[in-house]
Amino acid sequence: MLSAKNLFQEILDDDESFRLFCSIAASGESQGGWENGRIAALVPESQRALAPRITRHGADEDKHGRIFNALLKKRGLTPAEVPGDTDYTMLLERHGIGLAHARLGREEPLTERDIITYLAHSRVTEQRASEQMRLLRKYFADHPDLGRAVKMISNDEDNHLAYCHEELLRFAAAGHGRTIQRILRECALAEIGVYRDVSLAVMDHMGRILGWSRARAAVLAAGIHAVYAYERAVGWRRMVSLAPPERRDALGGPAVPAPEFA
């Protein structure tokens, strides 16, 4: 039977597909770590109190990248080259979402509007990350190799999402509500398109590695397109709502180390 759990299990059981899966994940997390580190360094004076939280966010992302690389090493595998069509972070940038790497590479302080853009972009992408990790946690929390990693990363992603809600609500209370909602909507609609394209690309690469039949590949592609159709119609709304999180000041302390992985 074709199910999300069986699909993930098949990918995890094969060395080459597992290698690609972890490499894509590690690359994305490492890029996120760099971005947050640069944003923390360039925060405007009016928002300097945010810098430690942004730094914590980046440290978590770096840690996740190390965890995925450590999982590869544990199986005696080396990182694979990440295909360009699976690079979620860079594809979002090409769609004008978030702060461009070229902007972050300059030694020019960000503006308050830049910080709002960063938080709105993170609110959307952390929603996706939180949902994906909860799915993996549901199926693999007790897995002997993946269990601890999945639970740790899932908890971190939930913290990141809570932090985005809290900070965006603070900016909304300061009079930026309309700007926040406009940027959130733009980010969400772009993200669901990029997520569809990346999902199709990942499944194409996995299918070739695992020798999937054309029929199976077609079923998976149809499922991805169905998810996109739902998200384009109504599902995007979950990515733009803001509510006080249950986890308050979720990034108020230092990053939790992961010595068992890295």
Domains of the chain: 4-239 (1.20.1260.10)
- Judged on CB neighbours under 10 Å (0-12, 13-18, 19+), 213 is exposed
24 SS3 class = helix
Residue 262 is predicted with a pLDDT of 45
Cα 61 from chain centroid (whole Å) = 9
Q: Give buried/exposed letters for 74-89 (b at 16+ CB in 10 A, else e).
A: eeebebbebeeebbbb
Mean pLDDT by 10 residues, the chain (262 residues): 84 96 96 96 96 96 96 96 96 92 95 97 97 95 91 97 97 97 97 98 97 96 97 97 92 68 50
**Cβ contact 117:99 at 8 Å:** yes
Residue 131 is predicted with a pLDDT of 97
**Cβ contact 68:25 at 8 Å:** yes
Q: What is the pTM of this model?
A: 0.94
Residue 34 is predicted with a pLDDT of 96
**What are the tokens at 126?**
């952390």
**CB atoms near residue 70 (< 10 Å):** 16
CA–CA distance, 130 with 125 (Å, rounded to integer): 9
Phi-psi region of 257 (alpha: psi -120 to 50; beta: other; left: phi over 0): beta
Long-range contacts (CB closer than 8 Å, 24 or more residues apart) made by 90-96: 90/31, 91/194, 91/197, 91/198, 92/121, 92/125, 92/190, 92/191, 92/194, 95/190, 95/193, 95/194, 96/190
